[in-house]
Structures are given as C-alpha cells and as structure tokens.
Chains A and B, each alone.
Chain A
Amino acid sequence: MIKQFSSAVSAVESHDEKEGLWHVYGSVCVERLPIISAELTDLEKDFQQVLLDIENENSMLSDHELRHLADIRLAEMRKREDYEETETDAVRITAVEDEDKWQQELKTISPASRLTEADKADDQKSINRKLDQKLIFVVNQKLGDDKAWILPQVLREQNENLRQTAERALRDACGINFKATFLGNAPCGFYKYKYPEAVRDETGVEGGKVFFFKAFTKGGQVEKQLNILDYLWISKDEMPQYLKPKYFKEIDKFLLDF
C-alpha cells in the first residue's frame, strides 16, 4: 500500500479543508452483452402460445394448406371407379411428402448449443459462459494490505483525465490485447471508502474516491497482469458472493440487467 501511495503521491487531491486529502481512482465496469436471447419464463411461454393460437384462428388458409386440401381431394377422386389418371396428377408431389423432405433437411442442420463448455464446467474465468446474461469483469486486487474483489481500478495520475485513468485500469488488469468500447467520458458511478486508521495517520490521506466508467467488450483475450491476483466473468446475481455488500450496493445502481 505504501508503495502504491509513494508512486502516486501527486494524485492526492485536496478539495476541501474539512474533508482532508483523498485519493482519486478511476475504475472500469466492463460488460459482456448477452449473445443469445434469454430463456422465456413460464408466463411468457403460455402467453406466446395463446397469441399464436389466436393468430392462427383468425388467419386464412395458406398456399401450403390449400395444396394439402387439393391432395386430399385427389386421393378421394382416385378411389372412384371412373377416375382416369392424368399425366400431371401421376407425378404430383403431395404437401405431406414435401414436409417430410423439409424435416429431413432440417435434421442435417445442427445449431450450436445454448450451453457452452464453460457453462458445463462452471468456469467463471471464461467469457463464454451464461450467454443469455450480461457478464461483468471483476478482479481480485490488492488494496493496501487487504485484497478484495472489485472492478479493476487504478490511482489517477497527474495530467490524466478520469476516462484515461479508467482505460489504464483496464489495460493494467487484462493487457493490451483486450479491447473494450467505453461508453462516454462521464463516470456512471461513485464510491468512497476510508483507509484503515494506521494508514490514515501515516500518510495523512483519508481514503479513496472511486469513479466508475462503463465499457462493453469488443473482443480480444484477457491476459492476467501482475497487479491483479485473479479475475472472473460473473453475472450480476453472482456478484454478492464475491463483492462486499457496501461496494456492491453502489455498483448495483448503474448495472442495468435488461
């Protein structure tokens, strides 16, 4: 902690005589947007079915249905004794036959599974999990002598605006190959915490003020950097397991889960 402070003493901001000195941090909340649509709830499924039924009841017969009816009429005609087969009727393909053919064709197409390998192995370090939800990048980072699960954050340096600080926080956590789109220059959240008393007495700095920036993933691989201990891609409902309640409460305000 001392090391971190000494390297960035210039970043100490004093803005109020009463409040004392504070460190300013830039932090980034990287979200992986959902890739597949969410599973429908029971109510949604029921309602969808009813809408389809009503739609079908009010509809008129389609070309395919007309064709099927014509097929049935032809089959009845064939039963009659005075029926004479025409050339076009002899080679006629029925609607049902076509349907079977289409079904066969459909079987040859296999879409990718909605559950990935990472889902099955419950690999929280993988970005390819929980495809139907937003995933958020959290790191286990050293804070002084403590360590905690937080959104990646770094101290602001002189001549740097906060957006640049947040971008640096991302680079410092996952390397330069990982790309993200930052959503604007304005912070989306704020969190303030006090340092332990010993540190406060020693450095004269009251605590840290963290400004969060939002970003969406754009591709690239996460390469764990040395200044973080661990990282996870977790959804919002998994966060309380890792994050401190007070911290989560602040983050929760700007995490939109829809």
Chain B
Amino acid sequence: MLKNEAVAVGPEVLLLQLWHFLCADVMLVLRGTSTGCQSCRRFTTSGGPLAFQATPRLSAEPPKKKKRIDSQAVLLKEIKRRNKLEKSIKKLESRARILKPVEEIHGERSFVRTMKERHREKPVLTFEESERRIKLFREWAQYKNSQHTEQINAILTAIKSRERAMDELRKISEQLYLDALKIDSKLIPYTVRGPVQTPPIAGYEAPDGEVTNTTRLFEGEETHRPFPVIDTK
C-alpha cells in the first residue's frame, strides 16, 4: 500500500509520509504498547529524519511458505525405506550362511589352477621291484601282527601280576587293600612327552623369535585364536 501511494504522489510526499510513519513507530516502541497509538502526539528529538529504525518488525524473518503434505508421497517413501531395510537384512542373513572353506575339501585355489602342470609321470615298475614290494607288505603285516600280540600278552601279564598283588594284599590286611584301591587324584591328568629324534642339548636356550600369524581371517572373526603354548618342561 505504501508502495502504491509512492507511485501516485512522488518522492517528496513519500519521504514525508515515511517520516511520519516512522515517528509513530518510535513512539510505539517508547510507550511499550501498541494500543491507543492513534491519539498520541508525534514528536522527535532529532532534527533530521531517522535513517534507521530499531523495531522488532524489521528483524522478523519473512514468512515461510506453507508446505503441502502429499500423503501419497509419504506412503511411497515409507515403503521404499522398509524395502531397503528388508534387503539389507536379507543380505546379512545370506552372508551368515556362508561357511568357512575347508581346505581339505576344496583344495587350495592356486593348486586347483595349476593342476595340469603338476602332473607327475608314474614310473613303470620292474617285475622284481613290484614283487619285492608285495613281499615287503606281507612281511610287514606279519611283523606288526606279532608285535601287537606280544604287546597284548605283556599287558595281560602285567594286569595279572597286579591282580595277584592285590589279592595277596587283601589277605594281609583289608585296610591296606582299600588304601591301594584309592584313586590317586594327583596323577590325573598325566602326560609324558617324547621320545624325540635327538636328545635335548643341555643348557641350550632357543633364540627368541617373532611369530606372525598368517592365517586368513574370515568375516565375523576379529582376532586369531592364540597359538597353543607347549610346556616343554
């Protein structure tokens, strides 16, 4: 409305009008109220027109455009979001079902690739050699069989010997017999290490080494399993 008037009247009138208008506003601010402003006098203490105006009206931000909510679009968005979530859940689930490859079953990939190169020519055995092998296998079977029989017999003899000792002990004293029946809990578990190919060198200290675990980590695994610590004492 102000703008329209200015176009009709010209710049001088516009300035004057603006001047009055501003003065009224200052008064309003000074009075601290907006009621009854029509009747109050307009005055100012300064000679010139005010170049600026410290009113809250100027610091107000321009009114926002009202957004029109399209319910159809919201629904579509919601469906999209849900689909996305479902997809990611499915992906996770399918990944959980991936099993660690067992090298013994699948074979190492580099080997599978070079399988043809790795073919070894089978030597043709002479008659004597194949005969010797067959004989040796037979001999071995007999040797192992007799060894096994000997060992079983030795164990049976040892068991008999122990049983006789226990019987004799019982004849002497029931209490001693019962003591002998007791389980030695310190003995369980009992482990013995060895034998080895060459005896340990007395006073030998193995040099310290660094261990790098090169085992592949699969999804869901964060750390390697610790190396087993072997107690050599």
Distance to closest chain B CB from A160 (angstroms)? 9
Neighbouring A residues of B224 by C-beta, 8 Å: none
Number of residue pairs spanning A and B whose beta carbons lie under 8 angstroms apart: 143
- Contact check, A161 vs B179: say whether CB atoms are below 8 A apart: yes
- Any B CB within 8 A of the CB of A197: no
- Contact check, A187 vs B166: say whether CB atoms are below 8 A apart: yes
Neighbouring A residues of B155 by C-beta, 8 Å: 256
Question: Considering residues A16, A24, A185, A192, which has the most beta carbons from chain B within 10 angstroms of its beta carbon?
Answer: A185
- Contact check, B184 vs A184: say whether CB atoms are below 8 A apart: yes
- The segment out of B18-26, B33-41, B65-73, B136-144 that lies at the interface is B136-144
The 8 Å CB contact of A112, one of B187, B194, B198, is: B198
Distance to closest chain B CB from A163 (angstroms)? 7
- Any A CB within 8 A of the CB of B32: no
- The segment out of B53-61, B87-95, B113-121 that lies at the interface is B113-121
- Contact check, A112 vs B200: say whether CB atoms are below 8 A apart: yes
- Contact check, B197 vs A190: say whether CB atoms are below 8 A apart: no
Neighbouring A residues of B5 by C-beta, 8 Å: none
- Any A CB within 8 A of the CB of B31: no
Name the CB-closest residue of B to A66. B117
- Contact check, B162 vs A254: say whether CB atoms are below 8 A apart: yes
- Any B CB within 8 A of the CB of A211: yes
Contact A188 B198, CB 8 Å, known A15-B173, A57-B122, A66-B117: no
- Contact check, B184 vs A66: say whether CB atoms are below 8 A apart: no
- Contact check, A190 vs B172: say whether CB atoms are below 8 A apart: no
Q: Which residues 240-258 of A have a CB within 8 angstroms of B? A: 250, 253-254, 256-258
Contact A185 B199, CB 8 Å, known A47-B140, A190-B168, A253-B157: no
Distance to closest chain A CB from B101 (angstroms)? 20
Contact A257 B171, CB 8 Å, known A61-B120, A186-B180: no
- Any B CB within 8 A of the CB of A122: no
Q: A250 CA to B199 CA in the complex, in Å? A: 32
- Contact check, B154 vs A258: say whether CB atoms are below 8 A apart: yes
- Contact check, A43 vs B140: say whether CB atoms are below 8 A apart: yes
Name the CB-closest residue of A to B166. A186
Contact A46 B136, CB 8 Å, known A35-B194, A183-B187: yes
Contact A187 B143, CB 8 Å, known A33-B192, A66-B114, A182-B184: no
Distance to closest chain A CB from B115 (angstroms)? 8
Q: A16 CA to B172 CA in the complex, in Å? A: 8
- Any A CB within 8 A of the CB of B43: no
Determine chain B's interface SS by DSSP, over half rule. Answer: helix
- Any A CB within 8 A of the CB of B52: no
Distance to closest chain A CB from B44 (angstroms)? 93
Q: A257 CA to B114 CA in the complex, in Å? A: 49
Q: A13 CA to B180 CA in the complex, in Å? A: 17
- Contact check, B140 vs A254: say whether CB atoms are below 8 A apart: no
Q: A109 CA to B177 CA in the complex, in Å? A: 54
- Any A CB within 8 A of the CB of B226: no
- Contact check, A254 vs B161: say whether CB atoms are below 8 A apart: yes
Q: A38 CA to B147 CA in the complex, in Å? A: 15
A/B interface sample: 13 pairs, CB < 8 A: A13-B172, A36-B195, A47-B136, A60-B118, A113-B199, A184-B187, A185-B183, A186-B162, A186-B165, A187-B165, A253-B161, A254-B158, A258-B154
Interface residues of A (CB under 8 A from B): 13, 15-16, 22, 24, 33-38, 43, 46-47, 50, 54, 57-61, 66, 111-114, 116, 131-132, 161-163, 181-190, 192, 209, 211-212, 216, 250, 253-254, 256-258
Q: Which 5 A-B pairs have the closest CB atoms?
A: A190-B165, A60-B118, A111-B198, A253-B161, A161-B179
Q: A22-B172, A47-B137 are in contact. List 18 more A-B contacts (CB 8 A).
A: A13-B172, A35-B199, A43-B136, A60-B118, A66-B117, A112-B200, A114-B199, A116-B199, A182-B187, A185-B181, A186-B180, A209-B168, A211-B165, A212-B165, A250-B161, A254-B157, A254-B162, A258-B151
